[in-house]
Amino acid sequence: MSQPNNRVFSGVQPTGNLHLGNYLGAIRKFVALQESHECIYCVVDLHAITQPFSVWGGPAELANNTREVTAAFIASGIDPARHIVFNQSQVVEHAELAWIFNCVARMGWLNRMTQFKEKAGKDRENASVGLFAYPTLMAADILVYRATHVPVGDDQKQHLELTRDIAAKFNNDFAESIARLQLDTDYFPLTDPVIEGPATRVMSLRDGTKKMSKSDASDLSRINLTDSADDIAKKIRKAKTDPEPLPATLEELAGRPEAENLVGLYAALAEIDKASVIEQFAGEPFSVFKPALADLAVEKLAPINAEMRRLLDNPVEIDAILADGAARARVIARETMQEVRRIVGFLGD
Ligand code: TRP
């Protein structure tokens, strides 16, 4: 198989409550990459079950959440006909390659993963083996398609470095076998992260120092992609602020996390820089700025929300998109796995 040179892969976990942070930080980037790259976007349900039932909600929730992420992809403008959208568990090659990578990656490498430490918390003995091996599955997701570019947030950079380490070690450990089979010496590419631009860190509407999160107990802290226009307006109206009006310069926003977050949100939604927002609203109180932000958020999110609702009312349509995407993903993944099996020395075809 020839090496692709502009293939994008990324994944989103179906663990509920997709919010504005997911949209501005990830999904909107996925949409933009469609113009320049061949894109594969995956709802990573195998990753979702690495956490306790209480986090991913159990089987019925998982199915709903998988459809919800798919609907968000499509409603945001990802084209499942020109690119590939599917859920991970439908392409068994991910799990198969992950097993091989479990035998390539070293305990020491995985022991250094900060996300495992965060998610496992204090009770590490009780974390699933899957949670520990999460990064090898993520490497398999990417490398089974030999993807060259992966848009990810800051929190996933370490996993991407691990993916490169696994690719390099595999290429090196099996170099002779790869050469004998006359495959590319760099069989697995060293995948590049696609670094996101500024203004993508969306913070909680109740605390400007915390990231907007699906697990925050207060629903007022986030704008969900399924929120109605009224909900969006209400949440922005109730967003925490300080008593000062907006300043005349960006520098003066420092030390005002809530004000900075709302200005950042306006900039991200309007696709302008923060300085332009400040210029426009310098000296205005939040009683003026918040309604403007609410209008903008509703204008940008209402069409996405409407299309998501339409799709979620038609699960058969979503499932058909996923089945079609999985069939096309499988063609690529099977080809890779056939080669990998020969590289490793497994008999069979
Ligand atoms: N770990 C990613 C996250 O939580 C999701 C993910 C799984 C992913 N596989 C991936 C992202 C492959 C990029 C590429 O956000």
CATH of domain 219-310: 1.10.240.10
Residue nearest to atom 10 of ligand 1 (CA): 11
CATH 3.40.50.620 in the chain: give the residue spans: 7-200+314-344
222 Cβ contact partners less than 8 Å away, ≥ 6 residues apart: 17, 19, 20, 21, 204, 205, 212, 213, 214, 216, 235
Tokens 């090659």 sit on residue: 93
Alpha helices in the chain (DSSP H): 20-22, 28-33, 45-48, 53-56, 59-76, 93-102, 107-111, 114-120, 129-143, 157-173, 175-180, 229-237, 257-270, 274-281, 286-312, 315-344
d(CA 52, CA 307) in angstroms, rounded, equals: 31
Active-site option among 117, 157, 211, 300: 211
CATH 1.10.240.10 in the chain: give the residue spans: 219-310
Q: Give the strand order in the sheet containing 149-151.
A: 84-87, 38-43, 7-12, 149-151, 192-194
Active-site option among 29, 122, 210, 214: 214
- 258 Cβ below 6 A of ligand 1: no
How far is the centre of ligand 1, averaged over its atoms, from the C-alpha of 164 (Å)? 14
Asked if the 7-200+314-344 domain carries CATH number 3.10.20.340, the reply is no
Q: Which two tokens stand for residue 175?
A: 């170099």
Identity at 349, one-letter amino acid code: D
Nearest alpha-carbon partner for 71 in 87, 59, 57: 87
User: In testing the pocket of ligand 1, which one of 37, 40, 42, 93 has its CB within 8 Å of the most ligand atoms?
Assistant: 42
How far is the centre of ligand 1, averaged over its atoms, from the C-alpha of 10 (Å)? 6
d(CA 147, CA 231) in angstroms, rounded, equals: 39
- Active-site residue 119, yes or no? yes
4 touches 38 (CB < 8 A): yes
d(CA 309, CA 305) in angstroms, rounded, equals: 6
202: region left, alpha or beta (phi > 0 left; psi from -120 to 50 alpha): beta
Residue 39 has a pLDDT of 98
Residue 199 has a pLDDT of 44
List, run by run, the mean pLDDT of 10-residue segments along the chain (349 residues).
Answer: 80 92 93 96 98 93 97 98 98 98 98 96 95 98 97 91 98 98 96 71 93 92 94 96 94 94 95 95 96 97 95 98 98 98 94
Burial class (CB in 10 A: 0-12, 13-18, 19+), 270: middle
d(CA 72, CA 225) in angstroms, rounded, equals: 8
- 141 Cβ below 6 A of ligand 1: yes
